[in-house]
Amino acid sequence: MNSSFALNLRETAAAAGASRTGTPRAADDKALMRAAAEVARDLHKPRPAIFWGDMIGSALLGYGGLAIAATASSTGLAIAAAIVSMLALYRAAMFIHEISHMKHSSVPGFRLGWNLLVGVPLMVPSFMYEGVHNLHHARTRYGTVDDPEYLPLALMKPHTLPLFVLVALLAPIGLLLRYAVLTPLSLIVPGLRKVLIERYSGLVINPAFRRRAPEGAARTQMLIQEAATSIWAIALLAMVATRIIPLHAFAVYLGIVAGITLINQIRTLVAHLWENEGEAMSVTAQYLDSVNVPPPALLPALWAPVGLRYHALHHLLPSVPYHNLGAAHRRLSAILEANSPYHKASYAGLPGLVGRLAASTMGTRR
């Protein structure tokens, strides 16, 4: 899940010229792809009890923490509760990624339940990722100007990295504006509806991306979810204006949502190496441009939850549900040779990945 970032990918790629930071334009490693397909034969089926239990438990913990943070008289307790709420709701929110990949019949009602419990209250309904994220996995789109979730960050100026991260703090205000103001206005202002769908209806980081208007069942889902989120956003502001919701509690809510988007933006920063200059890449090259942060590291379970610590593996096996990615990783690690490309996508943790990216922007790795 990524927030918008106003950079022009085409201009950036042109400015990068012929310099590269070292991502191999590898041909597909057939042995790796066959091994991945083989070990995952029995891992593609989602387990509804895990999905529902994990999502509901995370959401309830998150909202409980939010309630304590908004009402606690102790500053220390309020801060601790806010951190718990932020991490728990972040985990609950990341199920939007699973929703974008799943066959909805495999976990009946999950999309509806998630939107009611998480997507609408946090103003990130699932239509903002469905129909968008799958383009990131398209064989000929990954890493190109047509990829909604890719920017060549490693080739940009050093100041773009903190800007990329900090802009996420504005997400709560942007979401309120989108749903409480622009959505109803788009019903009466000519041309605004087209702009809203193309530019403000997807969780993307590539500002050159323009979303096509959904059709059929996808359009129906978008309209229902958008209307529900708009009603929620307007009602929320009305309750704050009439003091039904205290201003302090509203500020805590906005702060927690901002914290969620900030953590996710940091995770996005290290989800890939961001070293592609706009060329189409093989599946193996896409894998090597992506990142796994497997055990024994513990903190990735917090900042890359719901299977996102196996992001590179996910690019090999996008239909494997999050709760089976660990098993797939262990199986592959056990059967592949030490010199297999598979192991080259595994990293120790967040600091080293951020340091590598920062070094690339400063030209020290070129």
**What is the per-residue pLDDT for 139?**
85
The mean pLDDT value for 157-169 works out to 93
Amino acid at residue number 34? R
Secondary structure letter of residue 264 according to DSSP? H
Whether 2 and 266 have beta carbons less than 8 Å apart is answered as no
Residue 346, classed as helix, strand or coil, is strand
The mean pLDDT value for 181-204 works out to 96
pLDDT band at residue 274, thresholds of 50, 70 and 90?
very high
pLDDT in tens, 115-162: 999 999 999 999 999 999 999 999 889 999 999 999 999 999 999 999
For 242-360, where are the E strands, in sequence order? Answer: none
Secondary structure letter of residue 167 according to DSSP? G
Distance CA 101, CA 97 (A): 7
**What is the per-residue pLDDT for 26?**
64
The rounded radius of gyration (Å) of the Cα atoms in the chain is: 21
Distance CA 288, CA 82 (A): 36
The mean pLDDT value for 2-13 works out to 37
**What is the per-residue pLDDT for 363?**
79
The distance between the two most distant Cα atoms of the chain, rounded to a whole number of Å, is 65
Residue 235, classed as helix, strand or coil, is helix
- pTM for the model stands at 0.91
Helix, strand, coil percentages for the chain (3-state, nearest 5): 60, 0, 40
**What is the per-residue pLDDT for 278?**
86
- Nearest Cα to 155, choosing from 24, 25, 276? 276
The mean pLDDT value for 287-310 works out to 96
**What is the per-residue pLDDT for 27?**
72
pLDDT band at residue 335, thresholds of 50, 70 and 90?
very high
Which are the contacts of 39, defined by CB distance < 8 A and separation ≥ 6?
A: 328, 331, 332, 335
**What is the per-residue pLDDT for 242?**
97
pLDDT band at residue 362, thresholds of 50, 70 and 90?
confident
pLDDT in tens, 224-263: 999 999 999 999 999 999 999 999 999 999 999 999 999 9
**What is the per-residue pLDDT for 91?**
98
pLDDT band at residue 365, thresholds of 50, 70 and 90?
low
pLDDT above 70 covers a percentage of the chain that reads 92
Given a cut of 90, whether residue 333 has pLDDT beyond it is: yes
Amino acid at residue number 113? G
